[in-house]
Structure 1
């Protein structure tokens, strides 16, 4: 006859085995996430965006998702990063859609001149607005989130009027800026950010469109001395993921990724990087050998009037893709205004 004590011991052992089995079942299989981007590993966005995101994913997944960062075009050229995520060369990539002009017409709204202002609120607004279009325009990847930087002209000679651009060679930040430069009579020099300093120093470009702090980060401050003091353009960026990799994750791991691919992260990365970029303006102002070129209200009005056709072109191109372009632009303006991200 079994004693009550022996029965209790057996029940305890059985319970321990059951709990152990459940614990093993709950432990997700470790996976590696290769995250490729094309900035230097020391760039502010790497320190303020990529690294904190990676650490947060690892912590939230209890180490079952290991994020490996591949900076500085290690896995492919800057313009190839969207296709790298689609094809699984990396599980996640940081993409400038404007490096492939015309391929992503909807998100190009974030590149329209003088539309976006403070980068943090503007990033949150653009991301929220774009989520209803991402499944259409970027259907062969998993969209994570979007954010922006805002920049201006940095040049060898001061730029104050749109008419000055005629005949100049300008390194454009994206396809919409390139379109704007063509409208204003400039010649476009299309090179990626890591190649921009070389283009200026070799005389291939007279001016560059860039955010403030990155002028210093990429060493371009050694090649230009004048900086037009306005928020002229924006570049938008997306974090995208390989779909088959995401689909193969355990349910808990998918939730971790979903919790890190949301509007909150878009606003956080946009604000942290945007504030860092904006701080470069003050550094330039204090640095010897650099001049911030101030504009009068009349000059600003002249700039805004000169770029109006770019808005009409975007509405036309968007409407051709099956989306009501004017309604979409109105929605984006409303989102920017609501969140305090309008220029």
Structure 2
């Protein structure tokens, strides 16, 4: 072997060794990940915990993820600001809890658009990424996903006319608009506070995904469940920018690899399937009734909620968005994944 080849080989080995040393010497950091769900919630086992373990494994233990469930670091509606301000390094956010603040994101929560939570989540994430750069510019956007839910009540509901005069806990600001449009009154309480509101008669019904009715023990307070894809609730995993910027290059790559459309799809499918399994559980539970709707009744619901889309378009335009383009883009993504309702 010539001297030049030996030198080149020696240099390559040295550089490889240096790179390995840098990776091995990544400073150990903690990622404080806040959410507002109970620790035993299905999303913990299908989303938060698998993601955290994968990040830790990929970073060879240099990123330690600590989960803070059940509003330990702050109220549900504050989780966006918690990530922005560094109260949490990362948080699971329901942007719809702050009605009007994220008008583009709210397009994903317009009623009766999404049929399937898994492919719907992949569509949501792919569509929203370009908007997140401006609408959520003060945090690092990781990914978005959604669940699909319906109306659970103390009496059977089949017609939108029945909502008039009812007190309903909405899933988010867009669902609240829907309730108002149909003549109901909104009861604004977070998910963990919902059972109490229903049991005390403060609310008559709730919009919620299927299995969470059970995990939040709300099945003790409502017995009728409308069999329709009434609404979607969309969520974002968001990170404190300053925390992210302090990571090493290899640690940033680990985070970037875990803030992907593939993870949005994975979490959306896993949680969505788990939530949808609650329908069959409730159907087999004594005292509970799944309220079937005819195709004509579904059509009447779609017609009744249409003004909510028009209201959203007006408010989004005032906020500087191009509502027609926004909505067409989201619906195109849904259709491409066979996730449209």
Does the TM-score normalized on the shorter chain lie above 0.5?
Answer: yes
Match in the other structure for 1:269: 267
1:25 aligns with 2:22: yes
Match in the other structure for 1:45: 43
Match in the other structure for 1:12: none
Match in the other structure for 1:314: 312
**Alpha carbons 2:30, 2:64 under 8 Å: kept:** yes
Match in the other structure for 1:99: 97
SS at match of 2:151: strand
SS at match of 2:156: coil
Match in the other structure for 1:186: 184
Between the aligned partners of 1:18 and 1:147, the Cα distance in structure 2 is: 41
Match in the other structure for 1:131: 129
- What is the CA distance between 1:25 and its match in structure 2? 3.1
Matches within 5 A, 1:1-343: 23-26=20-23, 27-343=25-341
- What is the CA distance between 1:21 and its match in structure 2? 6.2
- What is the CA distance between 1:323 and its match in structure 2? 2.4
SS at match of 2:138: coil
SS at match of 2:133: helix
**Alpha carbons 2:97, 2:173 under 8 Å: kept:** yes
| Cα gap change, 1:267 to 1:23, in 2 (>3 Å) | closer
Q: Kindly report the root-mean-square deviation, in angstroms, between the aligned alpha carbons of the 2 structures.
A: 1.5
Between the aligned partners of 1:65 and 1:114, the Cα distance in structure 2 is: 40
Between the aligned partners of 1:112 and 1:22, the Cα distance in structure 2 is: 49
Between Structure 1 and Structure 2, how many residues are aligned? 329
| Cα gap change, 1:304 to 1:23, in 2 (>3 Å) | closer
Match in the other structure for 1:8: none
TM-score in terms of structure 2 length: 0.94
- What is the CA distance between 1:17 and its match in structure 2? 10
SS at match of 2:66: strand
Structure label with greater radius of gyration: 1
TM-score in terms of structure 1 length: 0.93
What's the CA shift string for 1:180-231, capped at 9, x where partnerless? 1011110000111000100000000000000000000000001111001101
SS at match of 2:123: helix
Gaps spanning 5+ residues in structure 1: where? 1-14
Gaps spanning 5+ residues in structure 2: where? 1-11
Between the aligned partners of 1:224 and 1:277, the Cα distance in structure 2 is: 17
Between the aligned partners of 1:146 and 1:72, the Cα distance in structure 2 is: 20
**Alpha carbons 2:35, 2:68 under 8 Å: kept:** yes
- What is the CA distance between 1:23 and its match in structure 2? 4.3
